[in-house]
Amino acid sequence: MNFEPDPTHVAFREEVRAFMRDNVPPDLARRSYIGGHPPLVDDFRRWQRILHGRGWGAPHWPVEHGGTGWSAMQKHIFAEELYRADALDYGWQGTHMIGPVLIAFGSEAQKRRFLPPMLSGEEYWCQGFSEPNAGSDLASLRTRAELASDEWVINGQKTWTSDAHYADWGFFLVRTDPAVKPQRGISLLLVPMNSPGIRIRPIESLNGGHELNEVFLDQVRVPRENLVGEPGLGWTYAKYLLEKERTASAYLYQNKRELEKAKEIARAETVQGRRLIDTSGFARKLARVEADLLALEWSVLRILSDENNAHDAGAVVSALKIRGSEMQQRIAQLQIDALGPRALRAFQHGDYSAAVIDGTPLWPAYVPGRTAQYLHLRAATIYGGAREVQKNIIAKRVFGL
Ligand SMILES: Cc1cc2nc3c(=O)[nH]c(=O)nc-3n(C[C@H](O)[C@H](O)[C@H](O)COP(=O)(O)OP(=O)(O)OC[C@H]3O[C@@H](n4cnc5c(N)ncnc54)[C@H](O)[C@@H]3O)c2cc1C
C-alpha cells in the first residue's frame, strides 16, 4: 500500500476545504460543534440547499441522479473536510438510506417524484422499521398493509422513529403477506407523514432532547404506486439499504472531529497549573484512543482502496459498526473526563447558551453540549443494529458458527 497522498487528492482536498471555509454559515457551524441530536431541521434544509447549489447534495449518488461521480477516496476526503468544518452531515434517512434504494429498485415515476426534493433538502425523511417487539428481530414486525382496490391500508405501530415529527415522508417496512416465511412477507412503502391516521408521540431522550418517537398508524391509506419494487421484497431492500455504504458504520469522520475536540479541551483545561494534555494520566488515555482510531481509519482506507477482502460485506459492516460505535463512546468519555466538573454545565440537549455575566462567559465555548452528546452516544451501540447482534453476524458469516 502506498502511504503517500496522491497529488490529485491533495488538490481536491484544498478545493473542498475552501468551499467549506466560504460556505458553512458560522451560526450553523457553532450549533453543529455543540452537537446534540438532532440538529435543527431548518439548519439541515439550509445546508442541504447550499450543498445542492454546488452539486454536492449527494456525492455518492450516480451522476445521472445528481451525484458527483467521485472516487471512493474523494468521497472520503469530502466527508473528512465536512466534519472538520463543523458542517452538518444529516438527513441520512433520505440521501443515504432510501435514496440509494429508490435509485436501485424504485420505479421511474418514484425517482422523478422523490429524488430531486431529497437532494435539495426540500423534503425530509424518516425510517419506520423498528416496532415495540421487533428491533433486533426485525423480521417479526407486525404492522400490516393490505391492498384495498388502489390503496394500501396500513395498521400498526412503529417505535424509536428518529425525526418522525420533522419528516415529510417516511419509508416503512410493513407485513403484506402473513402466510409466508416472515422475511418474505415484508414490503417497503413510502408514506406521507401528514397522512390521516398517523399519530406521533414523542419519546424523551436521556439528555432531555426529542429525537425519538412512537408512530401509530390507524387505517392509513397510501396509493398502490407507493410500494417500492416488488411486494414481499422489503427485507431484501432493507438489507441493501443497511449494507450499501460499507464504511459509514465506522463513524470515522465524526470520531476524528470529536477527538480533536477532546484535545482542544485538554489543551485548555489545567490541573495544578499544568495543561491537562501534558499530564501523564490523561496523555496515556488519549494516546490509547488515538491509536485505536488510527487503526479504524486504516481499516476504512483498506476497504476504500478495494483491497481483496476475504469476508462478506455484511460482516465487514458489522465489524466497523462495533468498533466505530465503541470509539464514539470512548471519545465522548474522554471529553467528559477532560471537562471534569464542568461537564455538569449546560448538559441539556439543545442548550446553546453561552451564559454571560458582565460580559464574561461563565464557561468556555467548548463546554455546552458535550454531556448531552455523551448521553446520546450511550445509544450508539444500539441503534443501527445492537452490538451483540453484530457479533452474532460476524460469528455466523466469518466463523460459520
Ligand atoms: C437513538 C436511537 C435512534 C433510533 N432510530 C431509529 C429509526 O429512525 N428508525 C427505526 O426503525 N429504528 C430506530 N431505532 C431503533 C433501533 O434500530 C433498535 O433500538 C435496535 O435495532 C435494537 O432493537 P431494540 O431496541 O428492540 O432492542 P432488542 O432487540 O430488544 O435488544 C435488547 C438487547 O438484547 C440484545 N439482543 C437482542 N437479540 C439478541 C441476540 N439474538 N443475541 C444476543 N443479544 C441479543 C441486544 O443486543 C440488546 O442489548 C433507534 C434506536 C435508538 C436508540
**Does the global pTM surpass 0.85?**
yes
Distance 126 CA to ligand 1 centre (A): 17
Distance 392 CA to ligand 1 centre (A): 14
Predicted pLDDT at 315: 87
Helices 280-304 and 313-339 meet at what angle, rounded to 10?
160
CA distance 174 to 247: 28
Residue nearest to atom 35 of ligand 1 (CA): 388
Predicted pLDDT at 76: 93
Give every CB contact of residue 347 below 8 A, 6+ residues apart in sequence: 207, 370, 371, 372, 375
3-state SS string for 71-134: CHHHHHHHHHHHHHCCCCCCCHHHHHHHHHHHHHHCCHHHHHHHHHHHHHCCCCEEEECCECCE
Give every CB contact of residue 290 below 8 A, 6+ residues apart in sequence: 259
Residues within 6 Å of ligand 1 by CB = 127-130, 135-136, 160-162, 212, 379, 382-383, 385-386, 388-389, 392
Ramachandran area for residue 195 (φ above 0: left; ψ -120 to 50: alpha; else beta): beta
Place of cell 463512546: 329
HSE-CB for 267 with a 13 A CA cutoff:
7
Please report the atom of ligand 1 found closest to the CA of residue 384. 17
Is 245 a residue of the active site?
A: yes
Of the candidates 146, 243, 245, 269, the residue annotated as catalytic is: 245
Give every CB contact of residue 126 below 8 A, 6+ residues apart in sequence: 93, 161, 162, 163, 164, 166, 167, 169, 170, 171, 193
Question: Grid coordinates standing for 317?
Answer: 459492516
Predicted pLDDT at 352: 58
Predicted pLDDT at 348: 60
CA distance 199 to 157: 10
Ramachandran area for residue 385 (φ above 0: left; ψ -120 to 50: alpha; else beta): left
Please report the atom of ligand 1 found closest to the CA of residue 212. 3
Per-residue pLDDT of the chain (401 residues; tens, 9 = 90+): 566 678 889 999 999 999 999 999 999 998 899 886 666 788 999 999 999 999 999 999 999 999 999 999 999 999 999 999 999 887 889 999 999 999 999 999 999 999 999 999 999 999 999 999 999 999 999 999 999 999 999 999 999 999 999 999 999 999 999 999 989 999 999 999 999 999 999 999 988 889 999 999 999 999 999 999 999 999 999 999 887 766 788 999 999 999 999 999 999 999 999 999 999 999 999 999 999 999 999 999 888 887 666 667 778 889 999 999 999 999 999 999 999 988 886 666 555 555 666 777 778 889 888 998 999 999 999 998 899 999 999 999 989 88
Predicted pLDDT at 361: 73
Q: What are phi and psi of 93, to 5 degrees?
A: -60, -25
